[in-house]
Amino acid sequence: MCEYAFNELCRPRPEWTGTDYDFLQARDMLDFHRSLPGYAATPLVELPNLAAKLGLAEIFVKDESQRFGIKAFKALGASYAMYRFLQRRWQERFSEPFTPASFRDAKVLEKLGAFTFCAATDGNHGRAVAWTARMLGQRAVIYMPADSVPVRVENIRGEGAEVVLVAGTFDLCVERCAADAAKNGWQAISDTAYAGYREIPGWILLGYTSIFAELEGLLHGPMKTGVDAVILPAGVGGLAAAGAFFYTKRYGAKRPCLICIEPVSSDCFLESVRHGKGEPLPTKGKQTSIMAGLNCGVPSPLAWPFLRDAYPFFLAVGDEWAEQAMRRYYRPLKDDPPIVSGESGSSGLAALLALTTSPKLAEARGKLPLGKGSRVLIVNTEGDTDPENFQKVVEQQ
């Protein structure tokens, strides 16, 4: 199953200016990440045999499955947001500078005092917040839908965090987390924005840009993107917005064609593009996809303008495409290297498989740079975060 829309609001040179966008001035994201223990640029993998089979010139996969040893890209956002939050607190009270080294300096942290960080998650963002809090010796409380896969809950507890299971969707977890933060004086580290809360999700978005910054000089030449299309998944839209900001700022109208991928059952960005008038709309789906990280019912109001203004094409696919992509990554063609990719992680390849093989999408493909000479970048955003289901899926033929 797949559905799509071309976005008439997409502009060649979008600009995000004004005080709401002052946060975009930051330049220190990659330097900060490089200072963290366990930092390594994630691999860029090529799949030439698959590219030939799908009628493309090249497929590049930025493989985030090993990022910081927690199997997903999310720690890039949580750690940078928590760094900027502590830096702000420090600057309010002390005159010495707060640098990336301060972030891990026990004496500095002791002077700042104790915090409780809280977050809502379908798994990966919560684990990233818990991982960062543990590194800082701080408390974390993580809100998850009660029907989350048990291993994802255990992974978060394994980082020393308390987990609160909420009977409802991710969006309800966001509400509960915000309410408890206000009641208890905790600091919410939410990857989605809401009324009166934009700063932290803005820093999270900035943190994700390190994925693209790591590709500079490797994949992209000077002022040349080196790829024709970039496919990025959207849950609340933080990662997709980071891609929009990064490529628009650097390459303007010459940026690669940005393609957004979501599950059909939580297609809030596609819904907004199809039926909205420039404002974000909730999905009409039941948010039941196995692509758990993408099971978000409403676009983050912070991310939305980036996608609305910079993405010409929005696609939503059924879970069968994600499963097919997991298997293709795991059992590649000929000597293409194998990649471990979880349900949400595989969504970029799911989009590419659908766009190049589904007759329903043939017309759409014809309008996109997905032909014989095209070089396409996808991001494998997670590894096997649910190893049991991963095995079940990849063992099927």
Ligand X SMILES: Cc1ncc(COP(=O)(O)O)c(C=O)c1O
Active-site residue numbers?
A: 74, 122
Q: Which phi and psi (to 5°) does residue 81 adopt?
A: -65, -40
**Min CB(137)–ligand X separation in Å:** 25
**Min CB(114)–ligand X separation in Å:** 27
Q: Which is nearer to ligand X, 59 or 204 (CB)?
A: 204
**Min CB(112)–ligand X separation in Å:** 27
* Residue with nearest beta carbon to ligand X: 293
Please name the residues in contact with 365: beta carbons below 8 A apart, sequence gap of 6 or more. 355, 356
Q: Which is nearer to ligand X, 124 or 374 (CB)?
A: 124
Binding interface with ligand X (CB under 6 A): 72, 74, 122, 124-125, 191, 233-240, 293-294, 344-345, 381-382
Q: Which is nearer to ligand X, 181 or 294 (CB)?
A: 294
Q: Which phi and psi (to 5°) does residue 361 adopt?
A: -105, 5
Q: Which is nearer to ligand X, 102 or 289 (CB)?
A: 289
d(Cα 37, Cα 104) in Å, to the nearest integer? 9
**Min CB(241)–ligand X separation in Å:** 8
d(Cα 248, Cα 245) in Å, to the nearest integer? 5
**Min CB(237)–ligand X separation in Å:** 5
Task: Quote the tokens at residue 29.
Answer: 């994201």
d(Cα 389, Cα 318) in Å, to the nearest integer? 17
The tokens 């500079």 sit on which residue? 216
d(Cα 381, Cα 46) in Å, to the nearest integer? 16
Q: Give the bridge partners for 141, in sequence order.
A: 118, 162
* Of 241, 299, 240, nearest in space to 270 by CA: 299
The CA angle 195-160-340, to the nearest 5 degrees, is 85
**Min CB(240)–ligand X separation in Å:** 6
Q: Is the dihedral of CA 246, 283, 345, 152 positive or negative?
A: positive
* Of 172, 330, 325, nearest in space to 261 by CA: 325
Q: Which is nearer to ligand X, 243 or 256 (CB)?
A: 243
Q: Which is nearer to ligand X, 102 or 126 (CB)?
A: 126
